[in-house]
Amino acid sequence: SQQGEEDPQALSIQEGENATMNCSYKTSINNLQWYRQNSGRGLVHLILIRSNEREKHSGRLRVTLDTSKKSSSLLITASRAADTASYFCATAGFIQGAQKLVFGQGTRLTINP
């Protein structure tokens, strides 16, 4: 399966600290995306990194991609209570003749005030 696997499954840190989440996948990809989901709500796109890119920034977010290790990481700096949510990586690649976006199981992040 191409499905990404996030690590850790759950992360609890203090406000102001940095949060790092990792994603590993199994097959070649065209891009990797990170999404955020507040409890029971729709997913919100955070950042997309293409297979030929190694690092991307957006505000307090930093994403890295290592295609040789088939892994990516999402770093949230200076965390805030409002960052509490589940974070999912999703990989876009060909599976059974069609390009699909497949999500991992997610990391549940809790920011303690």
Partner 1 sequence: DSGVTQTPKHLITATGQRVTLRCSPRSGDLSVYWYQQSLDQGLQFLIQYYNGEERAKGNILERFSAQQFPDLHSELNLSSLELGDSALYFCASSVEPAGGAGELFFGEGSRLTVL
Q: Find, among 76, 90, 96, 103, the residue nearest to 21 by Cα.
A: 76
Question: In angstroms, rounded to a whole number, what is the distance separating the alpha carbons of residues 88 and 81?
Answer: 18
Q: Name every residue whose Cβ is closer than 8 Å to that of residue 101 and which is 6 or more positions away in sequence.
A: 33, 90, 91, 92
- Whichever of 80 and 100 has its CB closer to partner 1, that residue is 100
Residue 67 in the binding site for partner 1 (CB under 8 A):
no
Amino acid occupying residue 34: W
Residue 30 in the binding site for partner 1 (CB under 8 A):
yes
- Whichever of 82 and 98 has its CB closer to partner 1, that residue is 98
Residue 84 in the binding site for partner 1 (CB under 8 A):
no
Residue 20 in the binding site for partner 1 (CB under 8 A):
no
Residues at the site binding partner 1, with contacts judged by CB under 8 A: 30-31, 33, 35, 40-45, 48, 88, 90-92, 98-106
